[in-house]
Amino acid sequence: MENTVQAFVNRHQLIKQNTTILIGVSGGPDSMALLHFLWRFKDDWNLRLIAVSVDHQLRGTASQADVDYVRDMCEKWNLEFVSTSLNVPAYKQKRQLGTQVAARELRYQFFAEQMNTYQADYLALGHHGDDQAETMLMGFVRSASVRSLAGMPVKRDFASGEIIRPLLCVTKEMIESYCTEHAIIPRRDPSNEDDKYTRNDFRHNILPLLKEKNQNLHRTLRHLSESLQEDDTYLQQEAIKMAENVVTFGNADSGLSFDTNVFKAYPRSLQRRCFHLLLNYLYGEKPQTVSYVHEEQFLKVLQTDHGHIEINFPNRLKLVKSYTTMSFYFMKDYIQPSSYHVIMDPPEEIVLPTGKVISSSIISEPHLEGGAIFVCQREAIALPLHIRTRKKGDRMRWKGLNGSKKVKDIFIDAKVPLNERDIWPVVTDNNGEILWLPGLKKGTPAESGANGDYIQLKYGMEEKHA
């Protein structure tokens, strides 16, 4: 393992001589193997090594015992050591986060503080090849972004220096053998065996199946990761150049603008990346409610020939397209959207001015799953669909009702607040028949009598995918 890691470090130029390295050490096999490896090369490379250990207050005395173990090993190897205790349960509850996410956020905050305190050049972490495989597979399942599929970078900027991952070139099995060879008896975290955590499920149930097909899976995925990251870096640089050439940047009040014809002259892959660069510039940190749906809506508006279009993004950010000029800016004084009317031609997803999303799909079998979903026969309605706010005199009918009922009375019966009634979506067909008040009432258009596809509508706030 030692030769493999040394060659990997040299190839990626991970560590320069005469530098300071913080090492995140939990006491487990991975981080202890990394600590021992760097300790072995400490004098050869003239390194200052500082082990950093964290008690997340999740396993009582056991987690403190992990910290004590790392401290003892550092004394044995004559290495500097720093530790802290972080109240992850309280932070998790306050921020409404999952345990793993809360622990990671607090841990990296502490790492950044220590990097700046010691003016360290590197933060070395013990992620290995199997970790990378798990990360890439989870990215494939969860996300639509190339960056997620690429997994963890070998190195990236962080605080006063860089995060480096020297063990991405080796497997868990190789690390365990290294610990045995050097008489390292690491600590074991029982939570790593619990399959309720997604990563553990991938580790124990999915990765072994793939390794049966390819015993060198970690190496294959490592090469894929490196290729994707190299491509991503290049495309990101090109997107930055594009933004600099195309976009006129202002401040938070004036926002930014660009000529759509010039923007469209660039490849679509750069258009997507530039869109996210612009959002990062405007927001500072993108809200979780910004999703791939907003990206698709942006690209759709970019291609349209309509003279004037406006789209509301989360947190009062507005996109305005006027002929060939597109602008983004924040509304100083937020005004509740008063009315809207958009046309939907299934299958399609539309972001409403309220920030909510209505998606439509064509299905062969109806699946009714509550008030946020509406299904009807495709042949029973006149397309396209219209999504609008209420109009005076709107009436709706449904199965079991004699005649029809005023939409106004439906809102009153459902105790919909006054300020929400004027922006509540009303879905109609092309003949004006009200099909659905999302979350309130579902209409019953006359069935065509023929077998065929169904149209399914969903209403809600989309989760972020990228």
Distance CA 195, CA 190 (A): 11
Q: Helical H runs in 329-464?
A: 407-413, 418-421
Looking at residue 144, its pLDDT comes to 60
Q: What kind and span of H or E run contains 257?
A: strand 256-259
Q: What is the fold of 247-330?
A: 3.30.465
What is the model's pLDDT at position 369?
A: 60
DSSP-assigned letters across all residues of 315-327: GGEEEEEETTEEE
Does position 449 have pLDDT exceeding 70, yes or no? no
Task: Give the pLDDT confidence of 57-115 residue by residue, as tens digits.
Answer: 988 888 899 999 999 999 999 999 999 999 999 988 887 778 888 899 999 999 999 99
Give yes or no for residue 338 having a pLDDT over 70.
Answer: no
pLDDT tier for residue 336 given thresholds of 50, 70 and 90: low
CA neighbor of 247 nearest in space, from 277, 286, 291? 277
Q: Give the least confident one: 90-94, 135-139, 140-144, 197-201.
A: 140-144
Count other Cβ atoms within 10 Å, centred on residue 335.
8
- Write down the domain spans for the chain: 2-231, 247-330, 341-460
What CATH architecture does domain 2-231 belong to? 3-Layer(aba) Sandwich (3.40)
Distance CA 326, CA 310 (A): 10
Q: Which segments of 119-216 does DSSP mark as H helices, in order?
A: 129-142, 146-149, 172-181, 198-201, 207-213
Cα gap 204→208, rounded to integer Å: 7
Binding residues: 26-31
User: What is the rounded distance in angstroms from the CA atom of residue 438 to the CA atom of residue 441?
Assistant: 7
pLDDT exceeds cutoff 60 at 404: yes
Categorize the per-residue pLDDT at 141 as very low, low, confident or very high, splitting at 50, 70 and 90: confident
**Do β-strands 357-363 and 454-460 pair in parallel, antiparallel, or remain unpaired?**
antiparallel
Q: Check pLDDT > 60 for residue 335.
A: no
* pLDDT tens figures, 340-394: 898 999 998 888 887 788 999 999 887 766 557 899 888 889 999 999 999 999 9
> What mean pLDDT is predicted for residues 160-169?
95
**pLDDT score, position 250:** 76
Give the confidence band of 334 by pLDDT, cuts at 50, 70, 90.
very low
> Residue 219: in which H helix or E strand, if any?
helix 217-246
Put the strands of the sheet holding 348-351 in their side by side order. Answer: 348-351, 357-363, 454-460, 373-377
- Mean of the pLDDT values across residues 15-40? 96
pTM of the shown model: 0.62
Q: Given 3-state DSSP classes, what are the helix, strand and coil percentages for the chain, each rounded to the nearest 5?
A: 45, 20, 35
Residue pLDDT, tens place only, 227-250: 988 998 999 999 999 999 999 987
* 426-428/405-406 β-pairing: unpaired
Q: How far apart are CA 179 and CA 446, in angstroms?
A: 71
Residue 149: pLDDT band by 50, 70, 90 thresholds? confident
Question: Residue positions in the annotated binding site for ATP?
Answer: 26-31
